[in-house]
Amino acid sequence: MDSTIAYIGIGSNLGDKLFNCKYSIDKINQLPGCNVSAVSAIFKTEPVGVTGQPWYANCVVELSTTQGPSQLLNGLLLVESDMGRIRKKRWEARIVDLDILLFGQEIIESDNLIIPHPLLHKRQFVLEPLYQLAPDLVHPVLKSTISQLLNKLPIRHRQTIVALKEER
Is the full-model pTM beyond 0.85?
A: yes
Q: How many domains does the chain have?
A: 1
Measured in degrees and rounded to the nearest 5, phi and psi for residue 14 equal -130, 145
DSSP annotation of 37 reads E
- Of 16, 26, 90, 94, the catalytic one is 94
Is 99 considered catalytic here?
Answer: yes
Compute the distance between CA of residue 151 and CA of residue 157 in angstroms, rounded to an integer.
11
Question: Which of these is catalytic: 2, 16, 99, 158?
Answer: 99
The average pLDDT across 53-65 equals 94
* CATH assignment of the domain containing 140: 3.30.70.560
Q: Which of 85, 90, 111, 156 is catalytic?
A: 85
168: annotated active-site residue: no
Per annotation, catalytic residue among 97, 111, 156, 168: 97
Does the pLDDT value for residue 10 go beyond 70?
A: yes
Cα-based torsion angle of the residue sequence 11, 17, 20, 22 in order, rounded to the nearest 10 degrees = 90
Give backbone dihedrals phi and psi of 102, rounded to 5 degrees, phi first. -140, 145
Which structural domain, as residue segments, surrounds residue 50? Answer: 4-164
Under the banding of pLDDT at 50, 70 and 90, the label for residue 87 is: confident
pLDDT band at 48 (very low <50, low <70, confident <90, very high): confident
Distance CA 67, CA 4 (A): 8
Helix and strand element counts for the chain (H, E): 4, 8
Cα distance between residue 168 and residue 22, in whole Å: 14
Averaged pLDDT for residues 35-64: 90
Report the pLDDT value the prediction gives residue 47, as an integer from 0 to 100: 82
**Tens digits of residue pLDDT in 105-116:** 999 999 999 999
Establish whether 85 is a catalytic residue. yes
**158 pLDDT more than 70:** no
